[in-house]
Amino acid sequence: MSEKVLMKGNEAIAEAAIVAGCRHYFGYPITPQTEIAAYMAKKMPKIGGTFLQAESEIAAINMVYGVSSTGKRVMTSSSSPGISLKGEGLSYMAGCDLPALVVNVQRGGPGLGGIQPSQSDYFQSTRGGGHGDYHMIVLAPASVQEMAELTVKGFELADEYGITSMILADGTIGQMMEPVSLDFDLKPMPEKPWATTGTKMAREHNITNSLSLVPEELEKFNFARYEKYKKIEENECRYEEYMTEDADIILCAFGIAARVSKNAVNEARSKGIKVGLIRPITLWPFPKAPFAKAATHAKAFISVELSMGQMIEDIKLSTECKVPVYLCNRAGGMIPDPKMVMDMIEKVKAGEN
């Protein structure tokens, strides 16, 4: 185990990406993720990598598309409004089944919004983000250590499945410092026989292209892609359960909201109220199993979010609406505090009895 160092969440993403073998970063500055770009600007030239501040987010994502086509590990990062600009590129990459890592350190929206933390890009990221039938793997870190670990995991999953992985963080996790260890068991990078690296006159041309004008063929691509997504749903769901076994009330939260919720679980337990927490780590694929299981004994769910309740749809789908789901939220850059969650727990408990 290597020595732990204090790092900001954003810096941990950048360093973990380098450890994972990423040598190409393209981005355009935006708060609250700027430390990622700053770190890359400092480090990449020293290790033979590329840091490039593009002229826009759209340019940056298309540079990612280009490098990914050559089989190299590549990433970009931005925050909410910048991710919207990248939407077209994300869709094009999905149409080419290209692996990449995209980081969204969310801020309040819609529009230009604010610069304080938010989770209101849940719909956008879990439903693909751009046009067309596609998904990204969406990873939601709740600590600086997870910012690093899920970055590595994100690259590995992207390469394994030919898909974009998105780190869906928020301004708090991006800005906070915690001890982090950057000692990873890296999987060997897989062969990429599809990469456009020159034929050397020894093979057929590789082409990455999302244009497909024959509907019968495009349909085949769509169906095949969803076979792949099915496999990801079966194999890659990640979540953490905290004191759920005997819980009457289940809190559901990811990222910073899960940290706040954990405090509330501890406080509720100290008052004798049986509360647990399910923390999805993958938001797509959504970990339905622990929710379905909890719905067999819990009387109520409370979704704790920094949005207007975007995750509730997935909770209801996972539990087939068997148990009521309440919302405890702040929005626009505000963060619920443990007391607010505790008040909601007591309100729900009173209502359920």
Partner 1 sequence: MSTREFLFSGFGGQGILFAGKFLSYKGLIEEKQVSWLPSYGPEMRGGTASCSVIVSDNPVGSPIVSNPDVLVAMNLPSLDRYEQSVKPGGVIFVDSTLIERKVNRDDVTVYYIPATRLASDNKLGNLANMIIVGKIMSVFDEFTDESVDAALAKVISAKHADMLDVNKNALKLGAEYTKE
Q: Which is nearer to partner 1, 160 or 240 (CB)?
A: 240
Least distance in angstroms from the C-beta of 62 to partner 1 = 30
Q: Which residues are bridge partners to 252 per DSSP? A: 278, 303
Least distance in angstroms from the C-beta of 298 to partner 1 = 21
Q: Where does this chain bind partner 1 (CB under 8 A)?
A: 4, 6, 31-32, 115-116, 171-172, 175-179, 256, 259-260, 262-263, 266, 335, 337-339
Characterise 278 by phi-psi region: left (phi > 0), alpha (psi -120 to 50), beta (else).
beta
Least distance in angstroms from the C-beta of 115 to partner 1 = 5
Q: How far is CA 236 from the centre of its chain?
A: 13
Least distance in angstroms from the C-beta of 108 to partner 1 = 11
Q: Which is nearer to partner 1, 97 or 149 (CB)?
A: 149
Q: Which is nearer to partner 1, 87 or 332 (CB)?
A: 332
Q: Which is nearer to partner 1, 179 or 351 (CB)?
A: 179
User: Would you say how long the chain is, in residues?
Assistant: 353
Amino acid symbol at 146: E
Distance CA 51, CA 45 (A): 7
Coil, helix or strand at residue 265 = helix
Q: Which is nearer to partner 1, 4 or 220 (CB)?
A: 4
Least distance in angstroms from the C-beta of 242 to partner 1 = 10
Q: How far is CA 121 from the centre of its chain?
A: 10
Least distance in angstroms from the C-beta of 140 to partner 1 = 16
Q: Which is nearer to partner 1, 60 or 105 (CB)?
A: 105
Distance CA 159, CA 283 (A): 19
Q: Which is nearer to partner 1, 245 or 337 (CB)?
A: 337
Coil, helix or strand at residue 231 = helix
Copy the structure tokens of residue 231: 């496999």
Least distance in angstroms from the C-beta of 30 to partner 1 = 13
76 contacts 102 by C-beta, under 8 angstroms: yes
- Count of alpha carbons within 13 angstroms of residue 272, beta-carbon side: 0
Least distance in angstroms from the C-beta of 160 to partner 1 = 30
Q: Which is nearer to partner 1, 262 or 274 (CB)?
A: 262
DSSP assignment of 303-339: EEESSSSTTHHHHHHHHTT-S-EEEEE--TT----HH
Q: How far is CA 13 from the centre of its chain?
A: 12
DSSP letter at 107?
B
